[in-house]
Amino acid sequence: MPQMESRVYLPNGTEAQMAVYREPQIEEFRNPLIQALPPMVTKGDIIQKLMRLAPFDPTERGLDGHIRIHLLQRLFEVFTPLPINVQVWEMVNSLLIQSYIARNPFDKNYKHFVSQTGKEIIERKYNVNTSLNFRSTACAGTLIGVSGMGKTTTVNQVLRHIPQVIVHNEYNAQHFSMTQLVWMQLQTPYNSSVKALCLQYFTRLDEILGTNNLKKLISRNLSVDAMIPYIAQSSRNVSLGLLVLDESQFLLRRGGSQLVDFLVSLINGGLSILLIGTPASYALFESEFRIARRLSGSKEVLWNAMKNDETFRLFLDGIWRYQWLRNYTPLSDELVSEMFAETQGISDLVIKLYLYVQQYSIERGLEVITPDIIRSVAKDNFRLMKPMLDALRTGNPYKIAQFDDLRILDTKERTSSSNPTHPVQKGTKATRKVMNETYPAPVAEKPKKNVDYRDGDLRRCFRIAKQEDVAPETVLVKAGYIDDMTFWTDGGNR
Give the DSSP letter of residue 299: -
In this predicted structure, what is the pLDDT of residue 256?
66
In this predicted structure, what is the pLDDT of residue 407?
66
CATH ID of 7-30+82-303, from 2.30.110.10, 3.40.190.10, 1.10.10.10, 3.40.50.300: 3.40.50.300
In this predicted structure, what is the pLDDT of residue 205?
95
Give the DSSP letter of residue 167: E
In this predicted structure, what is the pLDDT of residue 320?
96
User: Could you say which residues of the chain have pLDDT below 70?
Assistant: 1-5, 120-133, 253-256, 283-298, 404, 407-456, 480, 483-494
In this predicted structure, what is the pLDDT of residue 84?
94
In this predicted structure, what is the pLDDT of residue 454?
61
In this predicted structure, what is the pLDDT of residue 425?
38
Give the DSSP letter of residue 182: -
- Residue pLDDT, tens place only, 218-255: 777 777 777 778 888 889 899 999 999 998 888 776 66
Is residue 65 a contact partner of residue 363, using CB atoms and an 8 Å limit?
yes
Give the DSSP letter of residue 52: B
Torsions phi, psi for 230 (to 5 deg): -70, -35
In this predicted structure, what is the pLDDT of residue 332?
96
- Residue pLDDT, tens place only, 337-382: 999 999 999 999 999 999 999 999 999 999 999 999 999 999 999 9
Do strands 174-181 and 165-171 pair parallel, antiparallel, or not at all (unpaired)? antiparallel
- Range list for CATH 3.40.50.300 in the chain: 7-30+82-303
